[in-house]
Structure 1
Amino acid sequence: MNLPQSTAAPAPSNPHLAAVLQNKFGLSLLLVVLSRGEDLQSSDPATESTQNNQWTEVMFMATRELLRIPQAALAKPISIPTNLVSLFSRYVDRQKLNLLETKLQLVQGTR
């Protein structure tokens, strides 16, 4: 499953999520929640379709905002989950996955 490719204008940014990404604690907590949520989501084959769709939308929203926000605006997270690549790999293509991974690794190492 990949982020929808649209020829329309990009989805508007989420100001609350943007603020979370610019806060060290907020970004760290978001990454942990996404990591744990993805673990739970992928480990339960009986997950209802509605819950699956809601989780997918959360992942798309987080991914869009992480890709949209400039690297310089991202806070340095306390840590990055070890399953970062697999966390986003179900939702983005390889190019976007590489961008996310590079962006988060650079932020982790430079601040």
Structure 2
Amino acid sequence: MSRDTEEALPVLYPPLRNVIGGLTFSQLIKVLKDLTAESLTTYESLTLACQNKFGLSLLYALLSQGEKLLSSGVPLEPSIGDFETWTDTIFQVAGQLSQCSLVEPLLLPSNLLTLFCRYLDKRTVHQLKSNMESATGFLALAS
């Protein structure tokens, strides 16, 4: 893997998605908090994630799983502050994704625009959609 990260990432991504798919809402929030609030400022952490194929793919997978959990109707059993952290994270991530140039992720989950539409104004969603499409070359359709 250390030889070629471009070859290793597609191999590691499916198992990573499986792990993310098994997270509870509270565990997912913890990972998102760790990803967006490391020793760097939140802005710097998100900027680095958006400019890195693995970082952006991980961020998208986490957000997509959060949306799946919230829309599933299954009781989430959140910890105190999870929903507030989730909402704050959505706003932080959306602000960053709409302002910076993005690398092409391994996968653009179809439910991301649905997630952003739930929390953000139309102008910001339109900018996000435009940025996502320019990074992937595909239409970022809400499903």
Both proteins in one fold, TM over 0.5: yes
Q: How does 1:1-111 map to 2 (within 5 A)?
A: 14-43=43-72, 44=74, 48=78, 50-69=81-100, 71=101, 74-109=102-137
Identify unmatched segments of 5+ residues in structure 2. Answer: 1-40, 139-143
Identity %: 35
Aligned CA RMSD, in angstroms, stands at 2.2
* TM-score, normalised with respect to structure 2: 0.59
Identify unmatched segments of 5+ residues in structure 1. Answer: 1-11
Please list every run of at least 4 consecutive aligned residues from structure 1 whose deviation after the TM superposition is greater than 6 angstroms.
none
Higher relative contact order (CA 8 A, sep 6+): 1
Cα distance in 2 for residues equivalent to 1:64 and 1:47: 28
Say how many residue pairs are matched: 96
* TM-score, normalised with respect to structure 1: 0.74
Cα distance in 1 for residues equivalent to 2:117 and 2:63: 13
